[in-house]
Amino acid sequence: MEIRAEPATSALATRLLASFVEEVANRLPEGFDPARSVPASPEDLTPPAGEFLVVFDADGEGIGCGGLKNLGSSAYEVKRMWIAPTHRGRGYARALLGALEERARDLGALELRLDTSAVLAEAVALYRASGFVEVAPYNDNPYASFWFAKRLAAEP
């Protein structure tokens, strides 16, 4: 497995993000329209504003992704985190979340936030197991059931 930065506008990123949108749309009872969700534009996921990471399996195939979006005040948000269903249960998501945390620290983040739907129970379990705690809603995402945060470092 390898995790590395990829331009959020690349063909690979576009394919992975489309797979994310398709799966979430199929799993949410009301569907999923990224335009109604909290935005994560390619610019939001590009340095210095953010970052986009791709997970590659042992064969070099891009099988997952996740982005970081700068929220200001030393906080970044995890956006569009996804692992292909054929590769789940092998630790890829946990490794990706760890890489996103590390990159957020490198960017100066003191806190990492994210939101997710209750329908995505495996994601909720991963975030809780990774030290994220439930917080009050920090955005108006109509698809979110949970909002989480994790302190990455103590205030200077």
| Model pLDDT for residues 26-43, shown as the tens digit of each residue | 999 999 999 999 999 999
Q: Is residue 156 part of a domain?
A: no
Q: Is residue 66 part of a domain?
A: yes
The structure's pTM equals 0.95
Residue 76 contacts residue 108 (beta carbons within 8 Å): no
Q: Is residue 94 part of a domain?
A: yes
Q: For the purposes of burial, counting CB atoms within 10 Å of the CB of 148, is it exposed (0-12), middle (13-18) or buried (19 or more)?
A: buried
- pLDDT tens digits for range 112-149: 999 999 999 999 999 999 999 999 999 999 999 999 99
pLDDT of residue 154: 57
User: Got the DSSP string for 8-72?
Assistant: TTSHHHHHHHHHHHHHHHHHSTT---TTTS----TTTTSTTTEEEEEEE-TTS-EEEEEEEEEEE
Q: Is residue 48 part of a domain?
A: yes
Which CATH number belongs to the domain containing residue 87 in this structure?
3.40.630.30
Residue closest to 98 by CA, chosen among 84, 110, 112, 108: 112
Domain count, the chain: 1
Q: What domain range is 35 assigned to?
A: 2-151
Residue 79, classed as helix, strand or coil, is strand
Q: Is residue 95 part of a domain?
A: yes
Q: Is residue 92 part of a domain?
A: yes
